């Protein structure tokens, strides 16, 4: 290489901030490669090494040049390898996406490239009064898959509440996949109850899960807004759970919801909520979530922790216990007694 070119390149790399932004750019490219490779079926096809012709056939590729470009990006990013004409999965991220916990990781990638990215891409317009995003009704199933990341924490939280109760009838508002109902049963074989979710696709999946887990005689899954169907659900309940649900309601609706749920509790029942709260710059994950909330119709900004605990007291709950799940995180659990 000509020394003059090398010196020019070194001068370019001394540009303040350029190296850091280049590293971020590489991560951005890798994330988008994983998204495209997963959604197109490329990663699934490469669970067994394939040559180019096989991939063209397997993926029904009508634009081979685009597949070639994607493969080149994969090799350049270190996620794919090409040896003796065969492509294979190489990178640890791609391997993880196709592994045991792959669906959860794939959902994380899909969320970041789609509606999370959309929130930032449209901030300039929306901050000046432009229309907010209207995709909330489309992302329920993706959110449910993505949320599995914190399931171990939530399972322990629920288990600690239901373990010693007998009987224990559970109402899970915003039940998602139904996994919290399953967790309640695993922690207490006396558990029965109802799961409610507004998203039709999520409800279908939850019903299928409950059936496959052999729990159809223990739990019922209902579709609808809890505010509309609460009178159709037989109570009282000993435990009512809310996981990342309260920011779907504005302050006035939130108070009405909590009062309605209190009426559905048994005398000694508890309401258990787990959710993210405003981080004030201390937690990047929840700060990022708040960006999405502020950018989508049907969501409200993340509340502050003391606002929710105060609201619970105003609605007649108490005493109230706060559980901090992870150091440095503003993802908390709240248990409020029906006293």
CATH, domain range 149-279+298-337: 3.40.50.150
Tell me the C-alpha distance between 175 and 179, whole Å: 8
Closest by alpha carbon to 263, among 318, 172, 338, 321? 338
Per-domain residue ranges of the chain: 3-97, 149-279+298-337
Task: Locate all alpha helices (DSSP H) within 40-150, ordered by sequence.
Answer: 42-45, 52-58, 64-76, 92-97, 102-111, 117-121, 123-126, 140-146
Radius of gyration (C-alpha) of the chain in whole angstroms? 24
**pTM score, whole prediction:** 0.87
Contact 120, 291 (CB under 8 A): yes
Question: What are the φ/ψ torsions at residue 89 (nearest 5 degrees)?
Answer: -75, 135
Tens digit of pLDDT for each residue in 223-259?
999 988 888 888 799 999 999 899 999 888 999 999 9
- Of 171 and 100, the structure prediction assigns the larger pLDDT to 171
Closest by alpha carbon to 135, among 248, 298, 332? 298
Are β-strands 219-223 and 50-51 bridged in parallel, bridged antiparallel, or unpaired?
unpaired
Tens digit of pLDDT for each residue in 137-173?
888 889 888 888 888 899 999 999 999 888 899 999 9
CA 315 from centre of chain: 29
**Containing H/E element for 185?**
helix 179-187
Strand order in the sheet with 80-83: 50-51, 86-89, 80-83
Between 1.10.533.10, 1.10.10.10, 3.40.50.1950, 1.20.1050.10, what CATH number should domain 3-97 receive? 1.10.10.10
């Amino acid at each position: 290489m000509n020394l003059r070119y090398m010196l020019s390149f070194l001068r370019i790399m001394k540009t303040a901030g350029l190296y850091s932004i280049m590293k971020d750019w590489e991560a951005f490219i890798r994330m988008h490669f994983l998204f495209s490779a997963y959604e197109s079926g490329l990663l699934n096809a490469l669970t067994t090494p394939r040559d180019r012709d096989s991939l063209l056939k397997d993926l029904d590729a009508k634009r081979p040049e685009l597949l070639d470009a994607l493969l080149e990006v994969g090799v350049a990013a270190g996620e794919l390898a090409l040896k003796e004409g065969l492509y294979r999965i190489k990178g640890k991220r791609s391997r993880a996406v196709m592994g045991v916990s792959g669906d959860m990781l794939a959902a994380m990638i899909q969320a970041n490239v789609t509606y999370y990215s959309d929130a930032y891409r449209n901030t300039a317009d929306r901050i000046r009064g432009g229309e907010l995003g209207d995709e909330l009704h489309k992302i329920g199933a993706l959110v449910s898959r993505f949320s599995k990341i914190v399931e171990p924490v939530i399972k322990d939280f629920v288990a600690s509440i239901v373990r010693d109760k007998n009987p224990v009838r559970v109402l899970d508002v915003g039940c998602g996949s139904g996994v919290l109902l399953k967790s309640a049963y695993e922690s207490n074989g006396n558990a029965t109850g109802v799961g409610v979710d507004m998203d039709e696709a999520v409800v279908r999946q939850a019903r299928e899960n409950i059936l496959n887990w052999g729990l159809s005689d223990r739990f019922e899954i209902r579709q609808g807004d809890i505010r509309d169907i609460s009178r159709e659900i037989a109570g009282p309940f000993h435990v009512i759970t809310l996981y990342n649900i309260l920011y779907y309601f504005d302050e006035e609706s939130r108070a009405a919801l909590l009062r309605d749920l209190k009426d559905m509790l048994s005398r000694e029942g508890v309401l258990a909520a787990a959710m993210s709260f405003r981080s004030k710059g201390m937690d990047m994950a929840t700060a990022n979530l708040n960006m999405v909330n502020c950018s989508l119709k049907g969501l409200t900004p993340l509340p502050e922790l003391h606002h929710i605990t105060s609201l619970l007291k105003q609605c007649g709950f108490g005493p109230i216990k706060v559980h901090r799940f992870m150091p440095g995180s503003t993802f908390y659990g709240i248990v409020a007694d029906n006293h």
